[in-house]
Amino acid sequence: MAAPALGHYIGGRWTVPPSARSLEVWNPSTGDPIGTVPLGGAAEVDAAVRAAREALPAWRDTPPLERARAVGRLRERLEAGREELARLVARENGKTLKEARGSVRRGIEAAEFAAGAPALLQGSALRNVGRGVDAVEYREPVGVVAGITPFNFPVMIPLWMAPLALVCGNTFVLKPSERVPFSAERIVRLAEESGLPPGVLNLVHGGPEAVEAITDHPHIDAVAFVGSAPVARTVYARSSAAGKRVLALAGAKNHLIVLPDADLAPTVEAVVASAYGQAGERCLAGSVVVAVEPGADRLVFALAERVRGLRVGPADDPATEVGPLIRPEQRQRVAEWVERGRAEGAQVVAVGTVPAAGGGFFHPPVLFDGVRPEMAIAQEEIFGPVLCVVRVGSLAEGIDLANRSRYGNAAAVFTRDGRAAREFAHGIQAGMVGVNVGVPAPLAQFPFVGWKGSVFGSLAATGREALEFYTRTKVVTSRWF
């Protein structure tokens, strides 16, 4: 049964504009439509910003502990509804239920961090900076914050943003990906049930038009963005030009360096989970294996066997290891990348199978060997179940190769040698680094952020750095005559 049309949530009211432009939402596992999402534009963004601005003074002046309690109530509701949320994520995104559960757990942890943030909101003080003069530093909210999120983590990424922004005393406008709007709507309903005052958290559905309205809006003070590199670059440039604070997390091309001494079986499992988990639609997906010789042959052989046997299927089948891609266009793009890789001279050494029946947006897992660093498939983000093997002669050569990427989100090394692991961790230019860990996703209290072209802005999406993003400092210097 098709779900009802979704609405925007502005100033504490759900509005479903009857004549608005809308888009169909699909279940990628089946290819069935599951609802429609309204595409908000400048008018809806403006209404949401007005509501957020109106709610700002009272929310900013609400004691931080009360704000934290409100987020704590949201966290409790998220916890109680976590299975339902995971099922929504699996249904509209296509990742497996297991992956969806993990991502919801990570989102709830971000809300947990936010609920404990008042301790971190404390500033600093120094008595007698001059005779009879004291200085106190406060952390204050930035104002109205907008969050623009991607399709691949429909619950986790909105929860990186909204709870922390709110605890810091900001009001918030969420613009989720138009391809996965149901999860965002559910989060906002839970926030509504947890008693957030009207206007403190608003939801505007939409695509590029809504994003442009956000970047240009004169009364939005900060923009948090996560998505692809070209859009991140534009959002960063336009929002900065309009005088806003911006943090834009972008795309990736993550390298997994495998040394000859690596423990083969667990390494293959970790590499396969990194590259093909969530069908490769992860900003932390390993997409280039740098195989250090000697030993590349046995690694490629083991990887190829595993890739051929991967179970590709619908998100709700417990046996599924690799789900569908988000849309047929993404599947087409991945197929074109595979063709391009062949044309560039790389060899396809393994191809998985996809379900014979059904309308899901499946693409078979593909393993390339003989990839050279200058090939486009070794440099560009494919965002699908495609893994490239590049062979090198030494760890130093592997680190150098990875460091030549214009991205620097994540990287990992697989080895039994502590000294080599140390050399890698020290020399690699990436923000999130794994040692025998294929998906080195930091927990909510650590900074989640890449380096180089994987981020526009200077702070992280989680942890203390995110708290800095959502606050600004004020130093009061006082003397009493």
Query: Segment near ligand NAD (CB under 6 A), from 19-27, 249-257, 298-306, 350-358?
Result: 249-257
Residues in 172-191 that interact with ligand NAD by CB under 6 A = 175, 177-178
Q: Coil, helix or strand for 425? A: helix
Query: Segment near ligand NAD (CB under 6 A), from 6-14, 49-57, 88-96, 142-150?
Result: 142-150
45 binds ligand NAD (CB under 6 A): no
Distance CA 8, CA 349 (A): 47
CA distances from 351 to 303, 312, 346 (A): 11, 11, 14
Residue facing ligand NAD at closest CB distance? 227
102 binds ligand NAD (CB under 6 A): no
Query: Segment near ligand NAD (CB under 6 A), from 130-138, 246-254, 348-356, 435-443?
Result: 246-254
Residues in a beta bridge with 130: 133
Rg (CA), the chain: 23
239 binds ligand NAD (CB under 6 A): no
322 secondary structure, DSSP code:
B
CA distances from 415 to 257, 296, 425 (A): 9, 13, 12
Instruction: Kindly give the interhelix angle for 156-167 and 181-193, rounded to the nearest 10 degrees.
Output: 30
CB of 332 to ligand NAD, least distance (A): 14
Q: Coil, helix or strand for 251? A: coil
Do the Cβ atoms of 408 and 451 come closer than 8 Å? yes
Using the Cα atoms of residue 28, residue 34, residue 39 and residue 40 in order, give the sign of their dihedral.
Answer: negative
134 secondary structure, DSSP code:
E
Pick the closer one to ligand NAD by CB: 77 or 244.
Answer: 244
Q: Coil, helix or strand for 465? A: helix
Residues in a beta bridge with 13: 10
Q: Coil, helix or strand for 75? A: helix
**Residues whose CB is less than 8 angstroms from the CB of residue 182 and which lie 6 or more positions away in sequence, other chains included:** 3, 6, 25, 34, 35, 88, 91, 92, 154
Distance CA 87, CA 382 (A): 26
405 binds ligand NAD (CB under 6 A): no
Distance CA 411, CA 286 (A): 7
User: Which residues have a catalytic role annotated?
Assistant: 283
Residues in 148-167 that interact with ligand NAD by CB under 6 A = 148-153
409, 415, 462, 471: which one binds ligand NAD (CB under 6 A): 409
Residues in 293-352 that interact with ligand NAD by CB under 6 A = none
25, 55, 200, 249: which one binds ligand NAD (CB under 6 A): 249
383, 424, 451, 470: which one binds ligand NAD (CB under 6 A): 383
Pick the closer one to ligand NAD by CB: 281 or 369.
Answer: 281
CB of 353 to ligand NAD, least distance (A): 26
111, 226, 246, 268: which one binds ligand NAD (CB under 6 A): 226
Query: Segment near ligand NAD (CB under 6 A), from 20-28, 75-83, 119-127, 224-232?
Result: 224-232
Pick the closer one to ligand NAD by CB: 91 or 175.
Answer: 175
Distance CA 205, CA 179 (A): 10
CB of 225 to ligand NAD, least distance (A): 7
CB of 87 to ligand NAD, least distance (A): 21
Whether residue 440 is preceded by a cis peptide bond, meaning omega within 30 degrees of 0, is: no
Residues that bind ligand NAD (CB under 6 A): 148-153, 175, 177-178, 207-208, 211, 226-228, 231, 249-252, 283, 381, 383, 409, 450, 454
